[in-house]
Amino acid sequence: MAWYTTLDEKVSSYLPDLKWLHDEPLSRHTSFRIGGPARRMALPHCCEQIVLLMGLLDEAGIRPLLLGNGTNLLVSDAGVDTVVIKTGELLGAIERSGETELKAEAGVSLARLATFAWKQGLTGLEFAHGIPGSLGGGVVMNAGAYGAELKDVLTEVVALFPDGVRTLKPEELQLSYRHSIFSEQEEAVVLRATVQLARGDSAAIKARMDELMQKRKASQPLEWPSAGSTFKRPAGNFAGALIEKSHLKGTRIGGAEVSRKHAGFVINTGEATCADVLALIDRVQQTVLRDSGILLEPEVKIICSDKTGGF
C-alpha cells in the first residue's frame, strides 16, 4: 500500500476537519507560478492541527515541505512526493496583545501585518508592507527591506520542534542576514510570533508605507511572477549591480528571463519551467563569477528532490 493511502486513512480518522488535497499543483501556490503536483497538501486552520499532523507524519517517517505564501520558492516541474503543509492559507489570526505588541499566526502575510499595525497606530513594520511572504516564512529567513529586518521587532517565536512546542526569545533565534535558527532546523515549524512596535502617527506611518510601495513598483518587476530577489546580497556589493555589469539584463532561457527592470530578479514570462529558471541561475552565476570573481548565492529556496520527504 502506498504511503499516502495509509496516511489518508489516518488523517480522515484523526483530523476530519483538516483541508487535505490530493496531487495539488504547486504552481497554484508559489509566486513563481512554477511547480508540479504535491502528492498531498494540508491547509491547517489552527496550530493544534499542525501539531497533530506532524505527529502522524513523524510516525509514518514522512518529512513534509512547509509552505507559507510560496513567495521564495522554486519547485521541481515533477512536483514533490511528500506532504506539503501550507500555513499561508488559513492560519491568519492577529491580535493586539499589549500597548505596542502584536501577536500573529504564521500564515499572516507580512503585508497584512504591516497594515494591521498602521491601523492600530503602531510604527516599526512599514518596511514589511510590500513583502508578499508570510510571517512564518519571514521569521525563517529574517525577512527585511530598506534597511530594516524582522529581527528589529521580533520578541518571541512559538515553534513546533520534534521534541515539542517551544517558545524562543530573540537571542535564541540566531537572526542574521536572511538566516535564523530555522535555516538549519528545517524540521521545526513556526506557529506564531510576537512583535514589539512603538506608538506612531497613523498618517505618517501610511505615508511611509506608500512611499516604500512606490519605490518597489518603480524598481522591481512586480507585474511578473517571480520569487523576489533571486540572489543574496554579497558582502560589500549588490547582486543586481553585478548582474547588470555583466550585461545579463534581458538574458532568457525558455520562459525564464533576467528582468530588464531589475537585474536581481529572474522572472517567469509566462511559460517558464523550473528547469528554465535553474539553467538561467547557473548562467548568471558562472558569468558573474567570471567577470567579478564573486559567486552569487541563491536566495530563493530550490526544491528539486523526487524522494518522499527528501528536503
Give exposure, 191-200, as e/b (b: 16+ Cβ within 10 Å): bbbbbbbeeb
Residue 229: active-site member: yes
Instruction: Single out the residue of 106, 69, 57, 92 nearest to residue 311, CA to CA.
Output: 57
Q: Angle at CA 235, nearest 5°, toward 232 and 241?
A: 65
Distance from the first to the final alpha carbon of the chain: 23
How far is it between the farthest Cα atoms of the chain?
Answer: 60
Asked if 168 and 147 touch (Cβ cutoff 8 Å), the reply is no
Cell of 63: 518529512
Give all strands of the β-sheet with 252-253 in edge-to-edge order: 252-253, 256-258, 266-268
57 contact partners, CB below 8 Å, separation of at least 6: 7, 63, 64, 83
> Is 95 among the residues known to form the active site?
no
Find out whether 301 and 73 touch, Cβ atoms under 8 Å: yes
Kindly report the backbone phi and psi dihedral angles of residue 164, in degrees, each rounded to the nearest multiple of 5, phi listed first: 130, 180
Of 109, 229, 246, 259, which one is the catalytic site residue? 229
| Active-site choice (186, 233, 299, 305) | 299
Buried b / exposed e along 1-11 (16+ C-beta atoms within 10 A)? eebbeebeeeb
Q: Tell me whether residue 178 is one of the annotated catalytic residues.
A: yes
Catalytic residue among 178, 192, 246, 259: 178
Known catalytic residues are 178, 229, 299
